[in-house]
Amino acid sequence: MVRVLPFIVVLNRRSQITNNLVLSYGGALGVQAYTICRNSMSLAYIFFTGTAQTMSPIAGIYAHEGDYDRTRFVLKHSVRIVLVTALLMVGVFSAFPRSLLWLFGAAASPDADYFCKAIRVFTPIYPGLAFSFLMNYYFQAIEQKKLSVAVTTLEGFLLPVSLAYLLIPRFGMKGVWLALISAETITAILIIRSEERRVGKECRS
């Protein structure tokens, strides 16, 4: 639970800033749509946390023992699990967006169709979200604190807020979804490249 707290604090701060931007360009309806989508992220974390908490101590033990092959095996297996889970969530919530509205008490809203469209546009965020969340746990487990902080800061605050300021004034509510999805995609690419360099150094040493 301790590992999750900094991530959640940063996420809440990002949400406050994004809420203000959404209110300015999307009005109350935009804020409602954003809130529903943001709450769906909290639901996603429930599924991702189980895998991350199971993987973390195992990867940490193998890394401490210098068994990097098993460490990477555990990581790859965990990544597959969270990505499959995320893709299933994308499929389910894209096909049945009203199930999310029902969960959050908005199924009877006269704006339900608008919310359903927002959910369908937003759901591609889940795979990137799952990957970044898992890697945050992984970096802490193998005592790569700087990488963990970098992931939390980039994915949780700097990228989404910067992209929101750039995209929302130009694209309105579409800019919200573009900013969040782009932030997750860029973070995932940076993580992969960083991990490739780190593993390369381990192999050479």
Judge if pTM exceeds 0.75. Answer: yes
Task: Give me the numbers of helices (H) and strands (E) for the chain, helices first please.
Answer: 8, 0
Is residue 10 predicted with pLDDT exceeding 80?
no
- pLDDT tens-place string over residues 152-180: 888 878 888 889 889 988 888 888 899 98
Percent of residues, the chain, with pLDDT higher than 70: 91
pLDDT in the model for residue 58: 93
Helix H or strand E encompassing 79 = helix 68-95
The mean per-residue pLDDT over the stretch 37-63 comes to 90
Long-range contacts: 39-47, Cβ < 8 Å, 24+?
39/104, 40/93, 40/100, 40/119, 40/122, 40/123, 41/11, 41/125, 41/129, 43/100, 43/103, 44/86, 44/89, 44/126, 44/129, 44/130, 45/4, 45/133, 47/82, 47/85, 47/89
- pLDDT tens-place string over residues 178-196: 998 999 999 999 999 888 8
Contact yes or no for 173/29 (Cβ under 8 A): no
Q: What is the mean pLDDT of the chain?
A: 86
pLDDT in the model for residue 2: 40
- pLDDT tens-place string over residues 89-143: 999 999 999 999 998 888 888 999 999 999 999 999 999 999 999 999 999 898 8
Contact yes or no for 200/180 (Cβ under 8 A): no
